[in-house]
């Protein structure tokens, strides 16, 4: 959704206004952190991704040309950074696994920080979803994006996104209901 304030911020930002950059940061940092956290399940990595997005955004002021929504642009930047990070991690994990196999030792996994028990259960359930479903759920629920915007971002049809979202939500419910049954 394009707002008058965002259009003015884009115009001022293109002309080098530091105040416009500060306002964009202030306005969107929490939503972007929430989005990154939902996709990564790691608060430190989420902060790094959002910081990288804003550093790139600030450095690109001179050539910045955007006709669409500023919020959608920043969200897409976060999603792209998360995807890049996931690709790098998979590549790095393959190298670690190969080294560990050669040395005859299993590769360890680091745990993530947890805010509270509910957040931990939800984060764990989200992490168990296939990435495309997790991305659709987080963008729709936490970032309040429309399915057509998610489809554009993921480069798939709206019906594909709808299916990813629906299956993701069903699996989340099943995973969380299963956790609840174990606690009783």
Q: Which domains does the chain have, with CATH numbers?
A: 1-110 (1.10.1740.10), 114-184 (1.10.10.10)
Sign, Cα dihedral of 74, 75, 80, 84:
positive
Distance CA 126, CA 128 (A): 5
| Predicted TM-score (pTM) above 0.75 | no
User: Can you read off the two tokens belonging to residue 43?
Assistant: 């608060």
Which residue from 5, 6, 155, 160 is spatially nearest to 74, judged by alpha carbons? 6
Give residue-wise pLDDT tens across range 152-180: 888 999 999 999 999 999 998 898 887 54
What is the CB neighbour count within 10 angstroms for residue 171? 18
pLDDT per position as a tens digit, 95-136: 665 655 554 444 434 333 334 677 778 878 888 899 899 889
């Amino acid at each position: 959704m394009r707002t008058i304030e965002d259009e003015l911020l884009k115009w001022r930002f293109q002309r080098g206004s530091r105040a416009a950059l500060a306002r964009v940061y202030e306005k969107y940092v929490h939503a972007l952190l929430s989005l990154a956290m939902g996709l990564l399940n790691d608060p430190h990595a989420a902060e790094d991704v959002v910081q990288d997005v804003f550093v790139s955004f600030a450095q690109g002021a001179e050539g910045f040309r955007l006709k669409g929504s500023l919020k959608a642009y920043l969200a897409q930047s976060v999603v792209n950074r998360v995807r890049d990070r996931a690709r790098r991690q998979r590549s790095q994990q393959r190298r670690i696994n190969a080294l560990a196999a050669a040395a005859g030792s299993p590769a360890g996994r680091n745990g993530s920080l947890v805010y509270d028990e509910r957040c931990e259960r939800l984060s764990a359930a989200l992490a168990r979803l296939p990435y495309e479903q997790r991305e659709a759920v987080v963008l729709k629920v936490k970032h309040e994006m429309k399915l057509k915007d998610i489809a554009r971002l993921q480069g798939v049809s709206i019906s594909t996104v709808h299916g990813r979202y629906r299956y993701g939500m069903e699996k989340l419910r099943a995973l969380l209901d299963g956790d609840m049954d174990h606690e009783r």
